Structure 1
Amino acid sequence: MAITYHLVLLSVLLPLAGGASLLRYQCGKNFTGDGILASNIGAGLADLVRESSLLGSANSTRGAGDNTIYGLSLCRGDVTSGDCSTCIADAAGNISAACAGHAQAIVWYDICLIRFDTEDFNGKWKNGSGWVVRSSREAPNPSIFVPEVEELIRQVTAAAAGAGGRLFGRMARVIRRLEGLAVYGMAQCTRDLEGGSCRDCLDLLAGWIPVAGGCRNSSGCNLLYSSCVIRYETYNFLSPVDASSSASLQF
């Protein structure tokens, strides 16, 4: 299955006022002069903002027929309800402005995402494009670092796919051959997926880690897709995860 992905280089993530960092957004399906469709998009986003903080995720359906809008939101599994609520509100406001006049959109932050579409995407992950947002800092000794990261991601992927309804896994891994360097990783799927589909989506993203044009030789990377995300860093971006002398730690 061929899926398009795009590469973005970042030296740092730029936090917004609420503390979350905007990574990417993508708009599609232009429309003009349809007040009903625009109203349904606004109402659907309002539903997601209102409901997301309760469980860290929400779905919405507004309208009927060709004017139906399906929406979904997701917060990273380790963030507080307050941070989740703030991020979703920021995401809804920004995607409304950035993708005005579009009936399909998705926005990724470092701790949340929102998407909407006229097509019912629930339970479907195979159609779409993804983004690789990687650090401009090179990894130390890539011949050692990259295989260790791949093993870390295999473990967090298995944890996420086996996590029941949460579909979230996080872990720290200490690389002894790199003077005890700790690498932190997470994997998460949107909650409309089953465990098997979650694993398939994450496996697709994990395949971008070692390749040129993907995360290759980068010290940190965000792998973004409409139904799943993976991230690893050499600093602790998770809340809370502490590295110890153990080779792998799951939280």
Structure 2
Amino acid sequence: MAVVSSMQHSFVCCVLFLFIIISQGSAQLNGYFCDYNKVGNYTANGTYGNNLNTVLWNLTSNKQIDYGFYNSSYGENPDRVNAIGLCRGDVEQNECRSCLLDSRGNLTQRCPNQKEAIIWFDNCMLRYSNHSIFGRMETSPWLHMWNMANATDMEQFNDVLGSLMHNLTERAASGDSRRKYAAGNASAPNFESIYGLVQCTPDLSRQDCSNCLVGAVSEIPSCCNGKRGGRVVTPSCNIRYESYRFYYEPATATATAHAPASSP
């Protein structure tokens, strides 16, 4: 799967890291950013560094939450640290916590003294910052990935994909403060199937979740047009579709969308 990333601001040497696809155990690292808003660095043994270690420990050691969304803060300004962990909506609790633990180790290693950082694995996302990140829709930085294989009938494939993503977006946005997630599949031309998944951090409002997902879906023509798989990942929401099922069943009720009738 090919990959490309971007930031709202210009690229900064030594701050923006290359995105790579690697395997680490059963988890796949998709990408990460350090100091993407250029908020600066901290001293490892200083107050911010200690607060960061505390908040990440509190977040990843929490065994009470079983719905895959974790948020925590620790310390006082200007050294207060805010963190969010989000697991894919179909991932079981133990697998979720394992992914967040991997993320914690990876992120602090790859971004050793930056006050703000984010990392995406297949099964989870982890981010932290010195500014408030709860209840705020943020779409930058973002990551695009796509399957190299092409759909057999691009026009009809895109029609079915658009309908599927619309249905899933509506369902996910109507979720509650524990989970805003939807997955399902649709029949595409030539006996193809399209499997889709969309998710927001559930601290977003219904409208912000919908706006974030609509924005992510609108990126498909520029990154993944006619491809049999693709994904768009942001801090607040993510979407993915493939020609094979990549999420666990049962996730939510299957979304239905059908190929338009062929012209005679």
TM-score by length of 1: 0.86
Instruction: Specify which of 36, 57, 68 is matched with residue 46 of structure 1.
Output: 57
Superposition CA RMSD, Å: 2.5
Following TM superposition, by how much is the alpha carbon of 1:95 offset from its aligned partner in structure 2, in angstroms?
0.4
8 Å CA contact retained: 2:34, 2:117? yes
Q: Are the aligned partners of 2:160 and 2:257 in contact in 1 as well (CA < 8 Å)?
A: no
The residue matched to 2:186 in structure 1 has which SS? strand
Structure 1 residue 99 and structure 2 residue 127: aligned?
A: no
Match of 2:238 in 1: 229
The alpha-carbon deviation at position 42 of structure 1 amounts to: 1.2
In structure 1, what is the Cα distance between the partners aligned to 2:256 and 2:68?
Answer: 30
Q: Does residue 137 of structure 2 align to residue 125 of structure 1?
A: yes
Aligned to 1:216: 225
Q: Return 5+ residue gaps in structure 1 as ranges.
A: none
Matched position secondary structure for 2:128: strand
Counterpart for residue 163 of structure 1: 175
The one of 10, 25, 50 aligned to 2:32 = 25
Match of 2:186 in 1: 173
Richer in helix (by share): 1
Other structure's SS at 1:67 match: coil
What is the identity, as a one-letter code, of the residue corresponding to 1:171?
G
Matches within 5 A, 1:62-81: 62-81=74-93
Please identify which structure carries the higher strand content.
1
Asked if structure 1 preserves the Cα contact closer than 8 Å seen for 2:84 and 2:128, the reply is yes
Q: Contact between 2:59 and 2:85, CA under 8 Å: does it hold in 1?
A: yes
3-state secondary structure, aligned to 1:51: coil
TM-aligned CA deviation for residue 9 of structure 1: 9.7
Q: In structure 2, the residue corresponding to 1:72 is in which secondary structure?
A: strand
Which residue type is aligned with residue 110 of structure 1? D
Q: Which amino acid aligns with 2:88?
A: R
Structure 1 residue matching 2:175: 3-state secondary structure: coil
Matching residue of 1:193: 204
SS of 2:183's equivalent in the other structure is strand
Q: Secondary structure at the match of 1:202?
A: helix
Matched, 1:116 2:128: yes
Q: In structure 1, how many angstroms separate the alpha carbons of the residues matched to 2:33 and 2:19?
A: 17
Identity of aligned residues (%): 25
User: What 5-or-longer segments of structure 2 have no aligned partner?
Assistant: 1-6, 12-17, 259-264
CA contact (8 A) 2:42 2:115 kept: no
Equivalence map 1:127-142=2 (5 Å): 128-142=140-154
Displacement of 1:126 after TM fit?
Answer: 3.9
Report if aligned partners of 1:75, 1:113 keep a CA contact under 8 Å in 2.
Answer: yes
Deviation at 1:125, TM superposition (A): 1.0
Q: TM-score, normalised by structure 2?
A: 0.82
Quote the offset at 1:135 in angstroms.
1.8
8 A Cα contact 2:19 2:31, kept in partner = no
- What is the rounded CA distance, in whole Å, between the counterparts of 1:47 and 1:84 in structure 2? 15
